[in-house]
Amino acid sequence: MGARLGIHILHSRPYRPQGRAKIERWFRRVRTAFLKRVDLDAVQDLDHLNRLFLAWVEGDYHQAKHRGLEGETPLDCWLRLSEGIRPLPLDVDLDALFLEETRRRVAKDGTCKLHGRVFEAGPRFVGQRVTVRFDPFDLRHIQVAGADGQPHPAFPVDLHGNCFVRREDPEPKKKKPSDPPPLKSLEARAQEMDPGPEDPAGEPDDPQEDPLHDE
């Protein structure tokens, strides 16, 4: 995912928490400054908790001065340094970049399986290994991409309708050359090669043409 976004990820060394100090400090602040102020018994659902958390981040955390920022608030620091942030290009689908990806082989009936569900990939992918991109929290549809990388939507299979889908080979097989016609019998071949009866030697058709003919 980082590679698709053009982000180079640097991991900290194992057993060296100093490399994760900012992350660790952030979660400590959330536990001590936010969770202690929330009455979990009064939280109705996850959306309610997210609204409370956003109100604390925007109204408290971003407005408080931080020693790590030399007394500057996170909001002021963001506004001062935001000019160096690269905006996301307009033609980039951010939701598609965050989809999970795996590989599957399409069965002979044009379907593939994912997380216990069967999806209709289509006859064009029969027998191929395809790339499947999906949202694990929303499996109402997935994306299937072949060798060309072009994504195609796929939906849960309709078992009744799948019976009537016409299956076609992705590449038509070449027809084998037809067998040659059967050879004629040897007797017929011999007759064709025989030029026919010839006159006996020394007996011309016209006796006058024979110079040795005795008149």
What digits encode the pLDDT tens for the residues 6-19?
Answer: 778 888 888 877 77
User: How far is residue 53's CA from residue 36's CA, in Å, rounded to a whole number?
Assistant: 12
pLDDT, tens digit, for every residue of 132-159?
999 999 999 999 999 888 899 999 987 7
Bridge partners for 119 per DSSP? 112, 156
- Tens digits of per-residue pLDDT, 182-209? 555 556 666 776 666 555 555 555 555 5
CA atoms lying within 13 Å on the CB side of residue 32: 6
Measure the CA angle with vertex 125, ends 121 and 128; round to 5°.
Answer: 120
What distance in Å separates the CA atoms of residue 132 and residue 151, rounded to the nearest whole number? Answer: 9
As a whole number of angstroms, the distance between CA 77 and CA 106 comes to 51
Identity of the amino acid at 65 = K
**Helix or strand run (H / E) with residue 27:** helix 21-29
Q: What is the pTM of this model?
A: 0.50
The domain ranges of the chain are 17-84, 99-162
Give residue-wise pLDDT tens across range 4-57: 777 788 888 888 777 776 677 888 889 999 998 888 888 899 999 999 999 999
Q: Is residue 61 a contact partner of residue 68, using CB atoms and an 8 Å limit?
A: no
- Side-chain half-sphere CA neighbours of 86 within 13 A: 5
